[in-house]
Structure 1
Amino acid sequence: MAWIFLLLSGLGEVGGVTFMKLSDGFRKWKGTAGAIASGFVSFFFLSKALQTIPISTAYGIWTGIGSVGGVVLGMILFKESKDWRKILFLAMIIIGVIGLKTVGGGH
């Protein structure tokens, strides 16, 4: 269950950064509300995951999900660059996250 919490936490992180972009510097209330709600979800589920998963593993995976998700949504929603080098480095982050899961321990 801790790994599901960690995944939900990472998705909350992606939602938070996406809504933060949509908030236009916290000037638009819908984006601001979404960022706050997503941040709460992210930290709530991260705290649940940390009850079982070591912090070194959980934090690395949480930031990896947030980084990859943020970049991918940036490309899709905000028409950011899809340069092949960016894709290569995203693949490296994904490989790192898989490595952390493989050697990280926890349940």
Structure 2
Amino acid sequence: MAWVSLILAGLFEMFGVTMINKLHKDRNWKSIVLLVLGFGASFIFLSYAMKTLPMGTAYAIWTGIGASGGAILGMFLYGESKDWKRLVFIAMVLGAAVGLKLVS
């Protein structure tokens, strides 16, 4: 269950980062509430996962999901560059997260 919580934490992290971008475009109360809820849920799920998983592993995977997921969402939602080099480095981040899972 800890791994499911960690993945959910990463997905809410991605949502929170997306809401930061939305807040820059639409300064309204709805964007602020969604941003706070996204990051709040992310921290709650991360906290739950860290009751079982080692801190270093949990944090690395959480940030990996958030960073790579945020970059991918930026490509699809905001027209950011889809350069092959960028995709290679995103794959490296995800590969490192899988590697941490395998050795934990």
Higher helix proportion: 2
Report how far residue 28 of structure 1 moved.
2.4
Where structure 2 has 5 or more consecutive residues not aligned to the other structure, the ranges are none
The 8 Å contact of residues 26 and 32 in structure 1, kept in 2 or not, is answered as no
Confirm whether residue 19 of structure 1 aligns to residue 37 of structure 2. Answer: no
Report how far residue 25 of structure 1 moved.
7.3
The 8 Å contact of residues 21 and 31 in structure 1, kept in 2 or not, is answered as no
Where structure 1 has 5 or more consecutive residues not aligned to the other structure, the ranges are none
Q: Once superposed, which parts of structure 1, at least 4 consecutive aligned residues long, lie more than 4 Å away?
A: none
RMSD of aligned alpha carbons: 1.2
> Aligned pairs, how many?
104
In 1: Cα distance, 2:5 partner to 2:62 partner: 10
Confirm whether residue 85 of structure 1 aligns to residue 101 of structure 2. Answer: no
In 2: Cα distance, 1:97 partner to 1:39 partner: 20
Report how far residue 33 of structure 1 moved.
1.2
Partner of 2:103: 103
TM (normalized to structure 2)? Answer: 0.96
Confirm whether residue 39 of structure 1 aligns to residue 39 of structure 2. Answer: yes
Q: Give the fraction of aligned pairs with identical amino acids, expressed as a percent.
A: 47
Q: Deviations over 1:18-71 (max 9, x none)?
A: 011101178222221111000110000000000000001000000000011100
